[in-house]
Structure 1
Amino acid sequence: MSTSKKKRSIKSRYHHGNLLSDLKKYAVKLIKAKGVTHLNLRDLAAKCGASATAVYRHYESKEHLLAAIAEEGFNELQQVMLKAKYPNKLQEIGISYIHFALQHPVKFKLMFGTFFEKDKYPALLNASNAAYLILRNQVEEGIRQGIMVNDIDSLTRTAWATVHGTAMLLLDNQFVIQKHEIIDSNEIAIEITTVLGKGLFVKPE
């Protein structure tokens, strides 16, 4: 293939914004294999078959790319949390949160890591807050129905801390007590969110 044809092929490939998607996809793969420190925009451009100039046109630094991946992660997390249904909606939100973390470990750790300052990226901050509000709104609904104690912020923080901590412990394989022990992450998620629910709901007199 001639150089001119190759250039036309690359241009056609990314005409409709495929480059943005490919950059994030390959970045996640590279981070999973080698870690964040080995992520390099020029190498990533070569992997995608694009020029470094094209990449820097979208992301001026590695930090910007990482923030974009985290933003995408929060938007995806919102979607899975919104699928939770009654009668155990709060528990389903918690379980879906844990499942998301286990299915997308690289994105999840970027979302809550210290690789960038969220305040510098308004879209990322909005996506993060929107995910939190899904949980908070469900707690508020429980309070309105009289089935949860009236302390919305404390309950929301407790619920979030519990499911987030569970997700991180599962990701780091910290629930294994004995060598070669097999842990069912779904059972752990159900168990912990069930106990959490018992603690948050009003006890019948």
Structure 2
Amino acid sequence: MSSSTSDYHHGNLRQSLLEASMQLLDNEGLDALSLRRLAEQVGVSRQAPYHHFKDKQALLAAIGEEGFALLNQMLARVTDDPSLSLNERLHQAVLGYLNFALDHTALYRLMFGQTLWSAEHAHADTDEFQRYAKDCFRQYVQLFDLLKAAGDLPSSENTLRLAQLLWAAMHGLAHLASDGLFVKREDLAEIARYMIARFHTA
């Protein structure tokens, strides 16, 4: 029995397909992804991927969820680290986000693109992905909540709005840096610190 057939019967095909998808995405971009291409890559029948993903949109949602799982894990390591000050946790969470976006450009653009977020492409799999994505955003809200409780932010500050502004700034920086416009990667750490300082003086 081939390894791919063995994987399929032991329930590992879904993960194998996701791993192959991430590799294709990194190497060739979103247009290279198809269930047929993945079946060839993994070495299974053309119908086998449909046991796990009913269509390409379901596959893309699963890839996006994998991406947010990676981002969430990175953030959790920072936000839950008691050895770091709250300001340093926020700085590391910002810098980690930016580095993730630049290290996984095609994945990042899928995670935050219209393919997964627009109403035109929405279905049950996309809804589940979006709920997972929002868990990632909440970690920034929680950091601002902690800063507010510690007295590092005014008691009247709206932490949800602060997190939204921060996310918008990070997203813009990520795109500028990945496109090579105005922002150099080696400057991101300094930009992140400067940006966070502005939040404290706003």
**TM-score computed with the length of structure 1 as normaliser:** 0.83
Residue identity opposite 2:60 in structure 1: L
Distance 1:188 1:15, change over 3 A: farther
More deviation, 140-149/119-128 = 119-128
Percent of counterpart pairs with the same letter? Answer: 30
Partner Cα distance (2:4, 2:68) in 1:
30
Q: Aligned pair count?
A: 189
Q: Which moved more, 1:134-143 or 1:101-110?
A: 101-110
CA distance in 2, matches of 1:116, 1:96: 23
Structure 2: distance between partners of 1:189 and 1:109: 19
Structure 1 window deviating more from structure 2 (49-58 vs 15-24): it is 15-24
Contact 2:26 2:107 in 1 (8 A): no
**What runs of 5+ residues in structure 2 fail to find an aligned partner?**
none
For 1:152, the equivalent position in structure 2 comes to 159
> Partner of 1:52 in structure 2?
46
Structure 1 residue runs without a partner (length 5+):
177-182
Distance 1:62 1:38 in 2: 12
Instruction: Report the alpha carbon displacement of residue 154 of structure 1 after superposing the two structures with TM.
Output: 2.2
Q: Deviations over 1:126-163 (max 9, x none)?
A: 21011000001001111111212312122111111111
The RMSD of aligned alpha carbons is 2.0
Deviation at 1:79, TM superposition (A): 0.6
Q: Whole-Å Cα distance in 2 between the matches of residues 22 and 34 of structure 1? A: 18
Runs of 4+ in structure 1 over 6 Å off: none
Q: Deviation at 1:41?
A: 1.2
**What's the TM-score once normalised by structure 2's chain length?**
0.84
Whole-angstrom CA distance in 1 between matches of 2:178 and 2:53: 29
Task: Report the counterpart of residue 105 of structure 2 in structure 1.
Answer: 105
Whether contact under 8 Å (1:74, 1:111) holds in the other structure is: yes
Tell me the distance in 2 between the aligned counterparts of 1:16 and 1:148.
Answer: 52
More helix by share: 2
The residue number in structure 2 matching 1:179 is none
